[in-house]
Structure 1
Amino acid sequence: MEDTAPVRRLPEDTIADILLRLPSKYILRSGAVCRAWRRVTTAPHFLAARARRQQPVSILAHAYLPAAPWACSDGGLSSEDTALEALPVASPEDDRRRLVRYPATIPAHCGRLLASCAGALLFKKATGLYLLCDPVARKWAELPRLPDDYCRDADPEYGFYFHQPSGEFRLLCCSLTRRIWYIVSTGAAGPRHLKANPDPDLITRFVRPLLTTAAIPVALHGNLHWPALWLCAGGETRITAFNTVSETFQQMAGPTSRTPRMVKLFEMEGLLAAADFGEEKHVDLWFLEDYTGEMWAHRHRVASPWKHGSQGRPRNHWGMQSVAVAGDDEGNVIVGNNDGLVVYSTRMRKTIRTVDSAVQGKNRVFVSMHVFKGSLLQHPCFVAPTSADFPLIHSWS
């Protein structure tokens, strides 16, 4: 930027205040304008201020598009591509944002989205090989490849999280055949066994039921939380938590529910929350108001996003695999699946929006069960794709 440009005469605090109001991708681009702007957009106080403004929380959707013929992985033509889009909780119809697009020619088990955490998406590239994507910075990373003897189980992945003390992205895995838990991280050469291997019965009581529910853990307060999978004595439910620092498992009280496998956990305004889809006419929202004391409170009852008797409503735990729930810091919660989505305001205590057009079969857009929140933090493990090392991606538009 020329020294005579009028914007150069603005105080740095004013420039920072202006840049704070830009969308994430433009903040990253503005850092390339000049050294001064680069210094502003990478300063810790700027990143902290941006975090306080809260990036929109979104559910992810799979959109099927006409293929880009120049980028097919096999050099030929494909009739269709897959794109991941973000549907912001408050206004999913108006602000759909394209995150990443990749060829549909990639086998389903190789291009599968496994998880989303701290602004990163985790894909399964091949058996034992995983790709991480930062769609805001448009960068990629790889987790260490699993040795062949660790790949005998079809789906060893159980939890993806960002480990704050080390600055690493980590994947918690379990081998049913070896009956061991291990962690794969961006800062290690290979898998690492847990220091204190949990009770082997946990694999029977916790891991095997998860195989049929595809439940996604929620990261909060340094723990991963999985929804309750069974009723205890007296009708109580227990959720399983994994402490990412001590690397130990524990049981916590869950929300009251007659159908624990119909409950989906999510995070909202710093609280662990649960949406119970066990009833046909409504969805109950529970919040863990006292995390240490494990005290849950039933706060809201949302009208069902599906019509009475609709085939769209999940009837069992299998149907929960396509259900999405997310909350933002404005008090909005979105619940539903491909057959119905509603936005409920916890502050106004009413449904404020029914989503009809964003996710319908005719639009070739289908809801994912994953939640995405962009981040401006730059992690050293991510690199810009410059070669065929990252064939999953071929377009960002």
Structure 2
Amino acid sequence: MNSSCLGRKPRTMATSLSLPKNTITDILSRLPVKSLTRFKSVSKNWAHLTSTPAFVAAHLRRSSPNPSLLIRRYHTQSGWDCEMLITNPTQNYGTQLLRIPLEESLPRFPKIVGSVDGLVCLDVSPCYASDFVLWNPGTKQFKRLPFPLISSSRSNPIWLVFLGFGFDSFNNDYKLVRIVSFRGNDASSSLRVEVYSWREGVWKEINESFKLGLLCGGQDGVVVDGSLNWAAIGLQSFADRKVLISFDMGREVFKTIPLPPVTRYGNVKVMSYMGSLAIAVYPLVFAANGNNINRFEFWVMSDREDGVKDWTKMVVVENFSKSLVPMGTWRDRELVIKHMGGRDRENQPSLLLFDPVDEGTKRLSVDCVEFCLQGYSYVESLVPVHGRS
């Protein structure tokens, strides 16, 4: 008699086959996050397996080679009318609108601080970059972080805040770095630095600081080889030139990196390219001294024959003004560029992928807007937002 007629549940295929655990792990690690999330409610064994650090790491390794592009698109300078979009230029599913499952008490349109291993760090504060959320769009998990230690006061008001979010491979930790600049009474500024640890779930202020540069506003830190990097205006021995301020997330120390002289008269966008530090130099919006550059340059830090690291110029695009604005890199080897005033659509910006090697371009099927300034590589992952403490 059929077992189903007696009210017995038929055995599942996985139980009947008795597949080795390694085989099951290998199969599951190839599946998308959405499928794995469903399986968690079907099998307790699979729910446990797919939550282990080893499985999360194996799944991430398979997902990382084919990232999507996460875009924050907005129509006004305030950014209060923005949207989160995700697309993948190698696939044909087009552009998807991401819904952010945040609490109603949070601002509706947060800013992206960084996207690493499937975790997206959002700044949801109205000012002073003082309220943050970790969000995994794949699993739809999010966590409101504790408030930072350093705050503004009437006697010591905050002037500017600089942020960076990245992975510290030395300590197997994700870290959010917050650099707070205070305006002094003598028009000088002082800095304090604090770091949030994903593993520990707490903020800590660090004494290590830098004295050789003033960070440039408008850009968050870019992760390259375990360090966060910001463009800065040099001081002291680096006076009258631009430099990079680099923060080693493992050792939690700063250092200053000189930039090519051409950066003096152009905007500098810090980027990652093929695992190396890179910069894009492009025209300033305003140049009071008339020394504005009229070309786009892309430089990559590489090793010379004597082992010393130095800047190598890869690309120069000349004879234009204020038309190519770099946003970041996708797959760590193609530049995401906002093209202003394209010929096909008068005064309508568009998003391009630019390959620095063959200088080929590909237009993305994303409707661009004037203030679309954020773009990040994004991979689906099972990395939890709550850390491992």
Q: 1:217 aligns with which of 214, 217, 221?
A: 221
Aligned to 1:276: 281
Alpha-carbon distance, 1:172 to partner: 1.7
CA distance in 2, matches of 1:334, 1:185: 29
What does residue range 1-397 of structure 1 map to in structure 2 within 5 Å? 4-8=11-15, 9=17, 10-53=19-62, 54=64, 55-62=66-73, 82-88=82-88, 90-91=89-90, 94-101=93-100, 111-118=109-116, 119-127=119-127, 128-146=130-148, 149-150=151-152, 152-153=157-158, 155-164=160-169, 165=171, 167-177=173-183, 179-185=190-196, 192-199=204-211, 202=212, 205-207=213-215, 210-211=216-217, 214-227=218-231, 229=233, 238-255=243-260, 257-259=262-264, 261-278=266-283, 283-290=296-303, 293-301=308-316, 313=323, 323-328=326-331, 331-336=333-338, 339-346=349-356, 349-355=358-364, 357-361=365-369, 367-379=372-384, 381=386
5+ residue gaps, structure 2, are 1-8, 185-189, 284-291, 341-348
**May I ask how many residue pairs the two structures share in their alignment?**
338
Per the alignment, in what secondary structure is the counterpart of residue 125 of structure 1? coil
Per the alignment, in what secondary structure is the counterpart of residue 246 of structure 2? strand
Aligned to 2:343: none
> 8 Å contact 2:173–2:197 — kept in the other structure?
no
Q: Cα 1:117–1:59, aligned 2, differ >3 Å: closer, same or farther? A: closer
Aligned to 1:392: none
Per the alignment, in what secondary structure is the counterpart of residue 381 of structure 2? coil
Q: Cα 1:126–1:11, aligned 2, differ >3 Å: closer, same or farther? A: same
Alpha-carbon distance, 1:58 to partner: 1.6
Aligned to 2:3: none
Alpha-carbon distance, 1:328 to partner: 0.7
TM-superposition CA deviations, 1:329-366 (whole Å, max 9, x none): 5x43332257132223456x1425223x41235xxx96
Aligned to 2:288: none
Per the alignment, in what secondary structure is the counterpart of residue 26 of structure 1? helix
Q: Give the aligned residue type for 2:33.
A: S
CA distance in 2, matches of 1:114, 1:155: 17
> 8 Å contact 2:73–2:83 — kept in the other structure?
yes
Aligned to 2:286: none
Aligned to 2:345: none
Q: Give the aligned residue type for 1:373.
A: Y
> 8 Å contact 1:223–1:241 — kept in the other structure?
yes
Alpha-carbon distance, 1:102 to partner: 7.3
Larger Rg: 2
5+ residue gaps, structure 1, are 65-79, 315-319, 384-397
Q: Cα 1:44–1:185, aligned 2, differ >3 Å: closer, same or farther? A: closer
> 8 Å contact 2:114–2:164 — kept in the other structure?
no
Alpha-carbon distance, 1:185 to partner: 1.7
Q: Give the aligned residue type for 2:314.
A: R
TM-score by length of 2: 0.69
Alpha-carbon distance, 1:56 to partner: 0.5
TM-superposition CA deviations, 1:243-293 (whole Å, max 9, x none): 223333211133563456423122233222222324988643322223973
> 8 Å contact 2:301–2:310 — kept in the other structure?
yes
Alpha-carbon distance, 1:217 to partner: 1.5
CA distance in 2, matches of 1:102, 1:47: 22
> 8 Å contact 2:266–2:293 — kept in the other structure?
no
> 8 Å contact 2:40–2:47 — kept in the other structure?
yes
Per the alignment, in what secondary structure is the counterpart of residue 125 of structure 2? strand
Alpha-carbon distance, 1:180 to partner: 3.3
> 8 Å contact 1:141–1:382 — kept in the other structure?
no
> 8 Å contact 2:294–2:320 — kept in the other structure?
no
> 8 Å contact 1:59–1:326 — kept in the other structure?
no
CA distance in 1, matches of 2:268, 2:151: 34
> 8 Å contact 1:131–1:143 — kept in the other structure?
yes
CA distance in 1, matches of 2:275, 2:327: 19
Q: Give the aligned residue type for 2:30.
A: R
| Higher relative helix content | 1
Q: Cα 1:45–1:256, aligned 2, differ >3 Å: closer, same or farther? A: farther
Alpha-carbon distance, 1:145 to partner: 1.9
TM-score by length of 1: 0.68
